[in-house]
Amino acid sequence: MYTQAIDTDPQFVATQGAMRSVGATHASHDRLLASFDQRIANDEKIEAQDWMPAAYRKTLLRQISQHAHSEVVGMLPEGNWITRAPSLRRKAILLAKVQDEGGHGLYLYSAAETLGSSRAEMLDALLEGRAKYSSIFNYPTLTWADVGCIGWLVDGAAIMNQVPLCRCSYGPYARAMIRICKEESFHQRQGFELMLALCQGSEGQKQMAQEAFNRWWWPVLMMFGPPDADSVHSTQTMQWGIKRISNDDLRQQFLDATVPQAQLLGLSIPDSDLRYDDSSGHWQCGPIQWEEFWRVVQGDGPCNRERLNTRRIAHEEGAWVREAAQAYALKQAGQQAQALG
Ligand SMILES: [Fe+2]
Ligand SMILES: [Fe+2]
């Protein structure tokens, strides 16, 4: 954990020590804020040791830890299918993918720790239901085709969302996203390839692919978050250079990229209002049922309780691993101190 990063800007520390009056402290805070704003305007990266406004730190911590939780909870729906993958090749691909998601959680918890919260605190918030994760992972994986839909659509939507985050103003988050996006690209392609195999298969396989597609299509469109007009944090996070593209614009990019892919697969899109708008050159979908989105976000989706319960059990069963790692680290530190001393 890097709690020393809080307000350690030399200019800030010196000013705090030298200036006793409240007015002077306010003035120094204003100067630091002006310099932060200028750096954001110049598109410079903010690093862990730099001064940053408390609200920027809090927003990033919330976003990065939610993102980390989503990666880890996101291992569960697909993890269900590792033992039932239809071939050795498919099992190897799925194992690698689920393992990648665990790695993404690790990079992101590490990036969030640079903002002053420990991984244990963040995990407690998740397991006690105080922290959110992406609501898409509260939907079930009923058939093997759901695994294909997650890769193709969920990871596809994640890429749309995450590529702009590689340019996020906070350095540790932006750098974590570069590596994550490379791996997400493999996830999306393996999902599409799985769906292609099913769509070129038997009637039963085609039907399985269509039914899974029907289940995932609308929840995936909701993944980009509520419409811009209703998005509480969007304006500020865009001003801070954390978010670069709005929810509605990302959703549009996804729609334009994915409709032709569904057509290539021979799947019919479960939206009677879907149409191509010649004047704008974009696909337009029908109205999204936002009541369903809010219901799932608030804890009442098909698998919310099951997902959290599985994570709680995994956390308890993993206690011995954490204890062993800690004991090993203490032993190493002791040996190092002995060697030096
Ligand atoms: Fe991921
Ligand atoms: Fe992924």
Q: Can you give the three-state secondary structure of 280-340, one letter per residue?
A: CCEEECCCCCHHHHHHHHCCCCCCHHHHHHHHHHHHHHCHHHHHHHHHHHHHHHHHHHHHH
Helix (H, G, I), strand (E, B) or coil at 275: strand
Question: CB within 8 A of 336, min separation 6: which ones?
Answer: none
Torsion angle of the four alpha carbons 311, 101, 89, 153, in this order, in degrees rounded to the nearest 10: 100
User: What single-letter DSSP state applies at residue 200?
Assistant: T
Give the Å distance between the CA of 92 and the centre of ligand 1.
17
| Structure token pair of residue 113 | 């720790």
Give the Å distance between the CA of 322 and the centre of ligand 1.
23
Rounded CA gap, 178 and 185, in Å?
11
| Structure token pair of residue 149 | 């839909």
Q: For residue 274, with 0-12 CB atoms within 10 Å meaning exposed, 13-18 middle and 19 or more buried, which class applies?
A: middle
Rounded CA gap, 65 and 73, in Å?
12
Which residue's entry shows tokens 């939907």? 139
User: What single-letter DSSP state applies at residue 277?
Assistant: E
Closest CA to 192 of 134, 161, 151: 151
pLDDT, residue 234, reads 81
pLDDT, residue 44, reads 95
Helix (H, G, I), strand (E, B) or coil at 234: helix
Give the Å distance between the CA of 184 and the centre of ligand 2.
5
Proximal ligand: closest to the CA of 151: 2
For ligand 2, an ion, list residues with CB under 5 A: 155, 184, 187
Task: With residue 17 as reference, give the H or E element that holds it.
Answer: helix 10-18
Rounded CA gap, 321 and 326, in Å?
9
Proximal ligand: closest to the CA of 179: 1
Give the Å distance between the CA of 194 and the centre of ligand 2.
15
Give the Å distance between the CA of 144 and the centre of ligand 1.
19
150 within 8 A of 77, measured Cβ to Cβ:
yes
Give the Å distance between the CA of 51 and the centre of ligand 2.
33
Rounded CA gap, 45 and 61, in Å?
16
Answering whether pTM is above 0.85, one says yes
| φ, ψ of residue 76 in degrees (nearest 5) | -70, -50
DSSP strand pairing (275-277 vs 282-284): antiparallel
Give the Å distance between the CA of 158 and the centre of ligand 1.
8
Rounded CA gap, 89 and 333, in Å?
42
pLDDT tens over the chain, length 341 residues: 333 333 334 443 444 444 445 666 788 889 999 999 999 999 999 999 999 999 999 999 999 999 999 999 999 999 999 999 999 999 999 999 999 999 999 999 999 999 999 999 999 999 999 999 999 999 999 999 999 999 999 999 999 999 999 999 999 999 999 999 999 999 999 999 999 999 999 999 999 999 999 999 999 999 999 999 888 778 889 999 999 999 999 999 999 999 999 999 999 999 999 999 999 999 999 999 999 999 999 999 999 999 999 999 999 999 999 999 999 999 999 998 999 87
Proximal ligand: closest to the CA of 106: 1
Give the Å distance between the CA of 262 and the centre of ligand 2.
20
pLDDT, residue 340, reads 87
DSSP string, 129-164: T-S---GGGGS---SHHHHHHIIIIIIHHHHHHHTG
